[in-house]
Chains A and B, each alone.
Chain A
Amino acid sequence: MTKNSFEKDIETSKELPPKLDIPILKYFWQSNPLFTSNKNSIPRFLRKIKVLENFSDYELRLLSKALHLRQFSDGETIFNQNDIGVGFYFIFSGRVDIIVEDDQRVSDSSNESKLNHVVSLDKMDYFGELALLQQQSVRNATALARESCQLLGIFKPDLENLINTNPTIATKLLQAVSIITANRLFSVTNEVRRLKFKIKQLESQNANSN
């Protein structure tokens, strides 16, 4: 009786509902650009960073396991100048200001040390790389969160663990960090050369005028 009615139902119904193809649906769901599961988004984010070019996708996935995602609210200090630092940060979202305070205080002026805004860093920028390399690294500048931002930090202990467990990844990371420092060193050398030239110029001008 029931079977009959069921068959009848099928015969009489004009069109069956289209079959749901779960795998295809899942594929479209996951390829959605707004789909952000942490598992996928961090390696994908790291893929876009230029200095990490030499990492394979798999290695980036392993590296992302060693990273710590930290949340900072607007105006929060990430680290202070002259602190001892152990971490190297990538900006996952938000904006970070790097600020240098002048150590020399002018005695007659206000007691507050002068603040120099150095640079604003955006998404996919990085800072603090010297902390990974130096033995007891002292921060050269203060980092402030300028929006609520998410940082991906890798710290000395993580690097030590990586060296022990995944030497390839640790080597590639250190290679990336040394590329960054080498670039900075190159620009610093250029700057020094330029300044030296300027000093020489000024000295000769001085000698001429005297």
Chain B
Amino acid sequence: MQTAISKQEKVRLFAFFLGLVLFLFSLSLFPRVTIPLSVAYVISLIFNPLIPVVMRFGLKRSTSVNLVFTAILFLFTYPLIKITPTVTSEAQNVQYYLPKVESFLKTEYRNITERIEKRTGYVVGNDLLDNSLSYGQKATTEILLQIPKYLGSIIEWIFLVPLFVFFILKDGKSFKSNFLKIVPNSIFERFYYLSHQFNRQLGDYIFAKFVEASIVGVIISTGLFIMDVRFALLLGLVAGLTNVIPYLGPILGTVPAIIFGLAEYGWGPTFGAITVLYVVANSIDIALVFPILVSKIVNLHPLMVVISVILGSTFFGVMGMVISIPLAAAFKLISIEIYNELYGVKSR
């Protein structure tokens, strides 16, 4: 029996969706609030699964949140203090290495073009190299020039993000139940269930990605460290960060290491070792970590994953690549629900 929705309910539905859209729109208007808030939300998603584990020891929710939060602070602060000086000194050293890399690239390029000229008689010219090098220089200087601008907001975030994380962990549940009070009756069950499923998928995905990136980063850092390669920590960090991007990330993470390895050590055993290390780390990732952790969670076809990553990068850049998969998962959930509704599929 499809009873007609009463007028009052229609008004409620309209007001609810209008409010939701206005809220999202206003969030996009104030990036100074939205960015730390979303960063805090992602961090809280990573650590949310720990709270039930702690609560199972018979602790109250507030106590376990405090415990987990202290652990997070310790976990983040201690390595930051220990690692930051090393990373900064490495990053400072990178600028002295850049000319070396540049000259290496030039000589290699010349060799290759000469070989091509000898074999085929086709003159490649220096435009390609000059263009790409100047583009690289420009991009680097731009990033370096932007740093002071971002530094102010980063300092703001250092205070804001932990605050948000704490309150999202502590009061997230009551925020949610208060929000659910205004969800209209006629869509309540469906809305609650869908949002719960989506939230869980997002949380699981982000948690899995976090674990995956840390595993790759740690393997590469320790491997490079054992081989006594310079910038071990920095390269590991880059590999871990780029690993968040699906499919493209591992390649992006390998490129700087390959260029640097060639420039520093030439075609030698060290370069071979670096390549083997990256191949091993990425194959561990692809063969073990990814199938066990990630792909089970977001039940998407690889083709869909690649397409959504490309679409995400065209609309929102690098950030879009990272958020494309959760968005695609949400889209899939909602479209399955709509399909079931329209075609009346009631599988048991």
Contact = CB atoms under 8 A, between A and B. Distances in A.
Interface of A: 68, 70-73, 75-87, 99, 101, 113, 115, 134-136, 138, 142, 144, 155-157, 160-161, 164-167
Interface residues of B, number: 27
B340 A70 contact: no
A77 B3 CA distance: 7
Given A83-B189, A86-B189, A157-B196, 7 more contacts: A75-B6, A76-B185, A80-B2, A84-B340, A165-B51, A165-B55, A167-B56
Contact of B348 (A70, A136, A142, A165): A136
A167 B53 CA distance: 11
B192 A155 contact: yes
B177 A70 contact: no
B192 A72 contact: no
Contact of B52 (A113, A155, A165): A165
A156 B180 contact: no
B52 A85 contact: no
Interface string B1-35: 11100101100000000000000000000000000
Contacts, number: 65
Contacts of A161: 52
Contacts of B192: 86, 155, 157
Nearest to A135: B348
Binding site secondary structure of chain B: helix
B136 to A, nearest CB: 49
Given A68-B180, A156-B193, A165 B2 contact: no
Nearest to B197: A157
B113 to A, nearest CB: 62
Contacts of A113: 1
A164 B188 contact: no
Contact of A87 (B56, B189, B196): B189
Contact of B185 (A70, A83, A136): A70
Q: Nearest 7 A-B pairs (CB), nearest first?
A: A157-B196, A164-B52, A165-B52, A165-B55, A86-B193, A77-B3, A101-B1
